Structure 1
Amino acid sequence: MEDTSQHSVKLKEFFGENSREFEKKLLSEAVNVKDKIDEILAIGNIDLVNNAHKLVVYIIDGKEKELQLFAKQEGIAWASHSIDLSFKLEWVQAIRRTLWNFLEQYNALVNEQIPLNFFKLEKEINTRVDAFLNTFFISYSTYKDSLIMAHRKLVENLSVPIIPINTSVCILPLIGSVDVFRTSILEEKVLNEIGISRIQTLIMDLSGIADMEAEVIDHLMKIIDAASLMGCNTVITGFRAEVVKKMIKLGITFDPKTKTLGTLQQALNEYLII
């Protein structure tokens, strides 16, 4: 049996001469993806048809490194734009079927001249397609995870926005719901920021908080106590009536050193040095 590598050049020539037919057959195989080609191009600048030709060349040539790099790049591109993975899977499997259809046609043309070692060819082709898919999905998953983590960090930073007013005074406006998870983030960021920026007064505005659970209030008090140990006085503004009623009912009170004011504007008038 002749080594299948000798067919590489002729196979590429065959696919190049029949590229239009290859595309038509590919689109007929990719039933759900064919109507999404323009949309995917617009969303992520991903040219599925041209990429299919590139993938076929890498597979035929056995360019393992190029194939792996291409798969990684594709994985990152699809993850970046959150394109449905089912389209990618269908597209690659359609490429596989179309590739074998054209290999069959090629074999019919050259069978008597250079017989193909079918079993070796089958192993090489399918292994490369599977390797592409495997690397693609790993790359997609890894990059997607990194995007999620980056987004989570961004959300955490936005959920605890410490705003400097001058060299010693900062404002921490809390908006929306505050749960145990958020207070944990709050504790870490507040204490770190006090240590780094040497904050002497932290104005914590709660006017954007409609209600808080007892354990959240308790955690908040511990954060204030911890800030005090680091030399930072906390001023609380904007307590809602609902929160105050709950604190009275639960018998919760702040340390006498913790100052409370009705509004953020009052705190700014008192602590803002122009």
Structure 2
Amino acid sequence: MLSNFEKSEDLHEFLVLNRSLFEKRLLDVAVNVRDKINEIRLIGNINLLDNAHHLVLLVVDQEKEEVSKFARKEGVLWAKFAMTLSFKLEWLRSIRRTLWEFLNQYDVLCGNTTKTSEIFYKETIRYNDLIDHFTNGFFMSYSKYKDELIEKQQKLVNNLSVPIIPITPDVCILPLIGTIDSNRANIIEEKVLLEVGRRRIQTLIMDLSGIAEMDSDSIQLFLKLLDGVNMMGCELVITGLRPEIVRNMVKHDVDFRSKATTKASLQKALQDYLKLDTNRNTNSFIDFYNS
């Protein structure tokens, strides 16, 4: 077996000269990852074998800062393309195991077979420390990128969940769908007040025909929103209140008729506030909205 290795007096050079053997052994050890190598390369343009060889050379050369940079780069790539972390864990364990096998072969070829336990212990700390350093850096980078990505996506969802649509320079429509809980009610309040001030909206038509449920806390927050919009000089028109929502409001003794005008439907509100007949343009908008 030893005859298969090219001998070198330098560990770095030894790993370079025997790269093909290192990669073959690594693939033998990383049983679950080896079948995914091509898939990972296609998804994220990541060459696992090149990166493994690069890492072990950084480790044996004790390039701690370069290991940190490499870990951060790898963490972002794996997070960006949502690749499976279990594969990365197995790959790193396999790299560590293969590296130690090759360190042993290097010692044998160099005649260093009588190392004291103290020397071996120091080597263990030196090499394992940098691999652990890479692992920690990778997961910190991965987690940070994922958290930032989730935050950006949440902001996008929040903005899309409050779609204020301008109809005229003074009139806008806010169609709401789904369930309004306390968290979403706060988001709606923040977005609406911001847009009323920014767009100088004179009349805001809030269509609630798509709202399936509002709990008591959400209703109270909804009333606060009405107060805030009124304080900004904007007239509120509420359309499409469902019977179950109305029953819940009555149950909690909520009456907002002094804060907003109610209309049976969005179409009725458009006819009244935009002074439009049910001509083709109005019907086109209604058809678009209902679709």
For normalisation by structure 1, the TM-score amounts to 0.88
Q: Give the Cα separation in 1 of the matches to 2:56 and 2:272.
A: 71
Q: Which residue of 2 aligns with 1:33?
A: 33
Matched AA of 1:245: R
- Deviation (angstroms), 1:257: 4.9
- Deviation (angstroms), 1:122: 2.3
2:89 maps to 1:83: no
Q: Give the Cα separation in 2 of the matches to 1:134 and 1:102.
A: 24
Q: Which residue of 1 aligns with 2:49?
A: 49
2:185 counterpart (183, 196, 200): 183
- Deviation (angstroms), 1:214: 2.9
Q: Give the Cα separation in 2 of the matches to 1:273 and 1:42.
A: 58
Q: How does 1:10-21 map to 2 (within 5 A)?
A: 10-21=10-21
Q: Give the Cα separation in 1 of the matches to 2:111 and 2:124.
A: 16
Matched AA of 1:142: K
- Deviation (angstroms), 1:182: 0.7
2:136 maps to 1:151: no
Q: Give the Cα separation in 2 of the matches to 1:45 and 1:207.
A: 47
Q: Give the Cα separation in 2 of the matches to 1:31 and 1:120.
A: 30
- Deviation (angstroms), 1:266: 2.6
Q: Give the Cα separation in 2 of the matches to 1:243 and 1:269.
A: 24
Matched AA of 1:63: E
1:241 counterpart (240, 243, 247): 243
Residues 34 and 272 of structure 1: is their aligned pair in 2 closer, same or farther, counting only changes over 3 Å? farther
Matched AA of 1:137: F
Paired residues, number = 266
Q: Give the Cα separation in 1 of the matches to 2:170 and 2:9.
A: 72
For normalisation by structure 2, the TM-score amounts to 0.84
Q: Give the Cα separation in 1 of the matches to 2:107 and 2:90.
A: 26
- Deviation (angstroms), 1:93: 1.3
Unmatched segments (≥5 aa) in structure 1:
1-7
Q: How does 1:60-71 map to 2 (within 5 A)?
A: 60-71=60-71
Q: How does 1:180-259 map to 2 (within 5 A)?
A: 180-259=182-261
Residues 268 and 100 of structure 1: is their aligned pair in 2 closer, same or farther, counting only changes over 3 Å? same
- Deviation (angstroms), 1:253: 1.8
* Same amino acid, percent of matched pairs: 52
- Deviation (angstroms), 1:269: 3.2
2:265 maps to 1:263: yes
Residues 21 and 246 of structure 1: is their aligned pair in 2 closer, same or farther, counting only changes over 3 Å? same
Q: Give the Cα separation in 2 of the matches to 1:74 and 1:9.
A: 31
**Residues 11 and 60 in structure 2, CA contact (< 8 A), matched pair in contact too:** yes
The structure showing larger relative contact order (alpha-carbon pairs under 8 Å, at least 6 residues apart) is 1
2:126 maps to 1:124: yes
